[in-house]
Amino acid sequence: MSVPEKMNTMSNELLNFQEALYTRQLDIKHPHVARALLDPLILLCVSNEIKTGYCINKSIRLTTGLRVSYGTLYPHISALLKDGFLTGSKRISDQSGLLVRDLQLTEKGTELLNSIFPVVK
């Protein structure tokens, strides 16, 4: 898939976030920077649609190039759930037959996301 095709598949929020990262010359692959950005990245990933942890990880990898281990990702998701920024419902996956959690942004999560990345009109 070409770069323009990949960019067309990303949401506008992730494109804006990625542009902001590159214009500020941040090394997003540095472990400390990557961990600091993980919560906003998770919130951005679920801002437009319900996703599982696997889908969030895949979106982060495709849009930023970061390879986040599940051992790093899931504690961040758990903290966001506990703090009320995300909500989740468990179901059995049709594809794997495993228990998965569908995650979505709450009103509190939307407010936090908008305070981090103000909506430009």
pTM of the model: 0.71
Give how many domains the chain has, as a whole number: 1
pLDDT band at 8 (very low <50, low <70, confident <90, very high): very low
Q: Per the domain annotation, does 105 fall within a domain?
A: yes
3-state secondary structure 44-73: HHCCCCCECHHHHHHHHHHHHCCCCCHHHH
Residues 103 and 105: their CA atoms lie apart, in Å, by 7
CATH classification at residue 106: 1.10.10.10
Measured CA to CA in angstroms, residue 95 lies from 56, 70, 88, 92 at distances of 17, 19, 19, 9
Q: Per the domain annotation, does 46 fall within a domain?
A: yes
pLDDT, residue 32, reads: 57
65-116, pLDDT tens digit by residue? Answer: 888 889 889 999 999 999 999 999 999 988 889 899 999 999 999 998 888 8
pLDDT, residue 37, reads: 81
Residues 70 and 51: their CA atoms lie apart, in Å, by 15
Domain carrying residue 29: 3-116
Q: Per the domain annotation, does 121 fall within a domain?
A: no
